[in-house]
């Protein structure tokens, strides 16, 4: 999720299919060695209905940010249970609401593990179901832990999953860094066939090491970025710890404003977030 503010390394074997705009369906098959992952951090969101996220694991971004978080977004991010809370069924729910609040026309929530969980390399994944509708912008992503010390995109950004609510069957996974950011970012898309990401849960993951960054949907490797490919466009800044973010933006340069037909409230439901090394 482009942001101008100032989610066991194994050997892959034969029959790897890398697709820039692939469909996750029964015909998609790969033969890939499964690394021996070691769980290093997780949140299963097993709190009671109405509980806020675990404060030992998540912090909040509050307000409208600088110039709509650098993207001309329209929402006001809060820490209210109306916008972010457990559902009592093992999920965390981020809810975007159309309402007048603190000068904004919409509210939502954005949480991060900054200062609480930051890791270099490994597998980062979330099982979630997205919202839908014109002007909705859900995201599961990462920023370098030096984001306060250096300007974006020098800190690096890894977008594990983002999508336009008006295209709920197409997810994007993107890298932003020096020389490749914003409209010039390095990106891949994954398109569902006869399905949508808001209809059921899907697992979005990135596997990252010193030489490559791989993106998965439902354990299907659909895009790989080699270090050499990134360095052909700019600087490889994926050599230090990153932290995770989850949010639902409303409006912004990437998706445009909601229309009168956009249904509200809209929810992103997260079953779990897990990190492995």
Name every residue whose Cβ is closer than 8 Å to that of residue 183 and which is 6 or more positions away in sequence. Answer: none
- Residue 129 CB coordination number (10 Å): 20
Q: CA–CA separation, 137 vs 159, rounded Å?
A: 12
- Whole-angstrom CA distances from 242 to 16, 72, 251 are 27, 24, 26
Place of tokens 């929530």: 109
Concerning whether 231 is annotated as a catalytic residue, the answer is no
Q: Please identify which of the residues 73, 75, 125, 162 carries the catalytic annotation.
A: 162
Q: Please identify which of the residues 73, 125, 157, 207 carries the catalytic annotation.
A: 157
Angle at Cα 197 formed by Cα 57 and Cα 80, nearest 5°?
A: 40
Q: CA–CA separation, 223 vs 221, rounded Å?
A: 6
Q: CA–CA separation, 275 vs 206, rounded Å?
A: 10
Q: CA–CA separation, 164 vs 254, rounded Å?
A: 8
Concerning whether 226 is annotated as a catalytic residue, the answer is no
Catalytically annotated residues: 157, 162
């Amino acid at each position: 999720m482009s942001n101008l503010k100032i989610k066991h390394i194994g050997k892959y074997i034969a029959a790897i299919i890398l697709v820039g705009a692939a469909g996750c369906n029964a015909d998609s098959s790969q033969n890939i060695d499964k690394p021996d992952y070691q769980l290093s951090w997780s949140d299963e969101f097993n709190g009671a209905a109405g509980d806020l996220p675990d404060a030992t694991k998540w912090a909040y971004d509050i307000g409208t940010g600088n110039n709509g978080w650098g993207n001309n977004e329209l929402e006001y991010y809060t820490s209210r249970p109306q916008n972010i809370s457990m559902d009592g069924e093992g999920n965390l729910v981020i809810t975007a609401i159309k309402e007048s609040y603190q000068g904004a026309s919409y509210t939502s929530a954005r949480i991060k593990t900054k200062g609480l969980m930051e890791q270099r390399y490994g597998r980062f994944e979330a099982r979630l179901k997205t919202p839908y509708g014109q002007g909705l912008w859900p995201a599961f992503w990462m920023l370098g832990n030096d984001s306060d010390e250096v300007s974006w995109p020098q800190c690096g950004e890894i977008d594990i999953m983002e999508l336009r609510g008006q295209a709920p069957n197409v997810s994007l996974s993107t890298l932003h860094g020096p020389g490749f950011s914003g409209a010039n970012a390095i990106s891949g898309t994954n398109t569902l066939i006869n399905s949508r990401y808001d209809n059921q849960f899907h697992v979005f993951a990135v596997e990252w090491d010193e030489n490559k960054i791989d993106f998965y949907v439902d354990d299907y490797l659909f895009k790989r970025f080699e270090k050499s490919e990134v360095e052909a466009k700019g600087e490889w800044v994926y050599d230090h710890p990153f932290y995770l973010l989850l949010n639902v933006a409303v409006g912004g340069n990437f998706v445009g404003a909601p229309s009168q037909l956009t249904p509200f409230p809209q929810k992103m439901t997260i079953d779990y977030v897990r990190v492995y090394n």
